Amino acid sequence: MPLLQLKNIECYYGPVLAIKGVSLSVEEGSVATILGANGAGKSTILKTISGFIEPEKGEIRYKEENIAGLGPQQAVKRGICHVPEGREVFDELTVAENLRMGAYLRKDRHNVPADLERVLGYFGPLRERYRQRAGWLSGGEQQMLAIGRALLSRPRLLTMDEPSLGLSPMLVKEIFKIIRRINTEEGTTILLVEQNARLALQTASYGYILEVGRVVLDNTTRELMENQDVQEFYLGVQQESIRGKKRWKRKKLWR
Ligand SMILES: Nc1ncnc2c1ncn2[C@@H]1O[C@H](COP(=O)(O)OP(=O)(O)OP(=O)(O)O)[C@@H](O)[C@H]1O
Ligand SMILES: [Mg+2]
C-alpha cells in the first residue's frame, strides 16, 4: 500500500487546464521524482497534494483517506509538508522564529526542542545565524531554512519544489546530501521536483515524466536513466555517442 496515491487528478487555473488525468503513487520511505519541462504542471501537482490547490477531479489517497480539497492546514496535520519553489521564508522574522513557525500546528510540543536541535545539526549555518533576520540570509541558507522549517512540522511526506534553484553547484551538492539524509535518517518519504534531472534521478528511486499536464512515462529511476528519450531530452546525452547510429528522430516523443 503506497503512502500517497493520486488517481486521475485534474486541475484548472480559471478556465486553463493545468494537469489532466494525473495518477501516481509514492511508496512509504521512498524518494520519488517528477520531471518535466517548464509549465508541464509539476508545481501544480505538489500544490495539489499539499492542499494549496483543490483539484477539479480525482482522488488524493494519503494512507486510507481521500484528502483532496481539505486545504494546507489539514495536510500539515496529517504529516504532509511542502517546501515551495523560491523558499518563501519570513524575511522579517529571525531564523529561530521561522523554524518555530514550522512546529506551529504540533500537539507534541515537548518533542520540539529535540527536533530543533536535529535540524540545526543538519544545517550548521542556521545555528550560526540563529538570531539573525531570515531576510539577511544567502539564497542557500534560506533554502536550508525552508527545509528546516518544514522538518519541524515532523512530516511523514515532504514535497519539495526545485530545491536547487539559484544555488551554486557546491551548495546544491550539500543540500542534496541533506535531502538524502532526511530520507534515510528520519525515514521521511519525499516527492521531489527538480530541474537538474540527473541529480533528481540519482536521488530518487522512482520517477514520473510529465508532459503538458500528463504523465507520459514512469519507471524506476534506474530504468529511466537507461531510457533513450530520457537520456536525450533530460540528460542531454547525444544518441550517436551511445548507439553509433544515425540520430533517431520521431515526431511524438512518448507513447
Ligand atoms: N496561478 C496560475 N494562474 C494561471 N495559470 C497558471 C498558474 N500557475 C500555473 N499556471 C499554468 O499551469 C501550467 C502548469 O504550471 P506549473 O507551475 O505547475 O508548471 P511547472 O511544471 O511547475 O513549471 P516550471 O518548471 O516552470 O516550474 C502552466 O501552463 C502554467 O502557465
Ligand atoms: Mg514549477
State mean pLDDT over 27-42.
Answer: 96
CA of 195 to the centre of ligand 1 (A): 14
| Whether residue 252 has pLDDT greater than 60 | no
The bound ligand whose nearest atom lies closest to the alpha carbon of 40 is 1
| Whether residue 248 has pLDDT greater than 90 | no
41 Cβ inside 6 Å of ligand 1: yes
Q: Whose CA is nearest to atom 17 of ligand 1?
A: 43
Q: Whose CA is nearest to atom 16 of ligand 1?
A: 41
- Sorting pLDDT into bands at 50, 70 and 90, what band is 241? low
Domain boundaries defined on the chain: 4-87+155-243
The bound ligand whose nearest atom lies closest to the alpha carbon of 45 is 1
> Is 36:209 a contact under the CB 8 Å cutoff?
yes
> Is 176:199 a contact under the CB 8 Å cutoff?
yes
pLDDT of residue 27: 97
State mean pLDDT over 202-218.
Answer: 97
Percent of the chain with pLDDT over 70: 93
34 Cβ inside 6 Å of ligand 1: no
pLDDT of residue 57: 96
State mean pLDDT over 181-193.
Answer: 96
State mean pLDDT over 88-92.
Answer: 92
More reliable by pLDDT, 105 or 148: 148
> Is 94:102 a contact under the CB 8 Å cutoff?
no
108 Cβ inside 6 Å of ligand 1: no
Centre a 10 Å sphere on the Cβ of residue 49 and count the other Cβ atoms it contains: 25
CA separation for the pair 226, 229 (Å, rounded): 9
Task: Look up residue 124 and give its three cell numbers.
Answer: 550548521
CA separation for the pair 23, 25 (Å, rounded): 7
CA of 177 to the centre of ligand 1 (A): 28
State mean pLDDT over 72-99.
Answer: 93
CA separation for the pair 15, 114 (Å, rounded): 47
What is this structure's pTM? 0.91
Q: Probe ligand 1: pick from 42, 83, 210, 212, max atoms within 8 Å of CB? A: 42
The bound ligand whose nearest atom lies closest to the alpha carbon of 195 is 1
- Sorting pLDDT into bands at 50, 70 and 90, what band is 255? very low
The bound ligand whose nearest atom lies closest to the alpha carbon of 35 is 1
Percent of the chain with pLDDT over 90: 83
More reliable by pLDDT, 6 or 64: 6
CA separation for the pair 144, 148 (Å, rounded): 6
- 9-18: per-residue pLDDT in tens? 999 999 999 9
**CATH level 3 topology of 4-87+155-243:** Rossmann fold (3.40.50)
CA of 74 to the centre of ligand 2 (A): 23
pLDDT of residue 251: 44
State mean pLDDT over 111-116.
Answer: 94
- Sorting pLDDT into bands at 50, 70 and 90, what band is 105? confident
Position 65: which residue type?
A: E
Position 1: which residue type?
A: M
Q: Whose CA is nearest to atom 5 of ligand 1?
A: 13
Residue 155: which H helix or E strand, with range? none
